[in-house]
């Protein structure tokens, strides 16, 4: 399995370290994005699926601080516990599946526009071993979505539909269940 640094998770860590409250703008205005998820396995097999991401609420600095503290003190289990009862910040839907609520949504400004990172408190799906309905594996309790969009809402991103979140060398690291990067293309604001 490959380890990949999720940009927004790194943003979470750096935002807390430098205390940049502007990174986490709270917003009452909801928005929705569509995209195409594409993955290509080591054996050459490829698959695509439509993805819809809704954002109803972006977390404030205080909200994100509490979750980071829970992670620092209790690891992934501490974060899961802290997320219990946290109202959804939006949702992610892959293919014809049911929407999975997101519990963390943060935003920051980038050279291209803005980066949205969304985290669920349960996997969206287990994609692996060439089987779209692969069996659950302990520790892969989250899903992480990164969307980088321009002022018009167009862009690209990635999704780890089943992920293990850890800290390595002071940075958040997401280990994806499948070991393959699932790219989000044709991202557009609805």
The model's pLDDT over 29-57, given as tens digits with 9 standing for 90+, comes to 689 999 999 988 767 778 899 999 999 99
Q: What is the pTM of this model?
A: 0.80
> Residue ranges of the domains in the chain?
3-189
The model's pLDDT over 55-94, given as tens digits with 9 standing for 90+, comes to 999 998 788 888 888 888 898 889 889 999 899 999 999 9
- Averaged pLDDT score across all residues of the chain: 79
Distance of CA 97 to the CA centre of its chain: 17
Instruction: Give the pLDDT confidence score for residue 134 in this predicted structure.
Output: 60
> How distant, in Å, are the alpha carbons of 78, 81, 120, 172 from that of 75?
5, 10, 16, 11
The model's pLDDT over 99-114, given as tens digits with 9 standing for 90+, comes to 999 999 999 899 999 9
């Amino acid at each position: 399995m490959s380890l990949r640094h999720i940009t927004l998770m790194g943003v979470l860590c750096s935002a807390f370290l430098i205390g940049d409250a502007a990174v986490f703008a709270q917003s009452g205005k909801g928005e929705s994005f569509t995209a195409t998820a594409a993955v290509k396995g080591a054996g050459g097999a490829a698959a695509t699926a439509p993805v819809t991401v809704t954002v109803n609420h972006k977390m404030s600095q205080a909200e994100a601080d509490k979750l980071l503290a829970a992670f620092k003190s209790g690891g992934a289990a501490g974060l899961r516990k802290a997320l219990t009862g946290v109202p959804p910040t939006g949702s992610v839907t892959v293919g014809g599946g049911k929407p999975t609520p997101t519990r963390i949504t943060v935003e920051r400004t980038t050279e291209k526009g803005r980066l949205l990172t969304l985290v669920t408190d349960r996997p969206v799906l287990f994609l692996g071993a060439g089987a779209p309905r692969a069996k659950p594996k302990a520790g892969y309790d989250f899903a992480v979505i990164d969307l980088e969009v321009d002022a018009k809402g167009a862009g690209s991103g990635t999704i780890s539909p089943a992920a293990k979140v850890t800290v390595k060398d002071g940075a958040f690291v997401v280990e994806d269940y499948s070991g393959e990067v699932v790219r989000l293309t044709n991202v557009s604001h609805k």
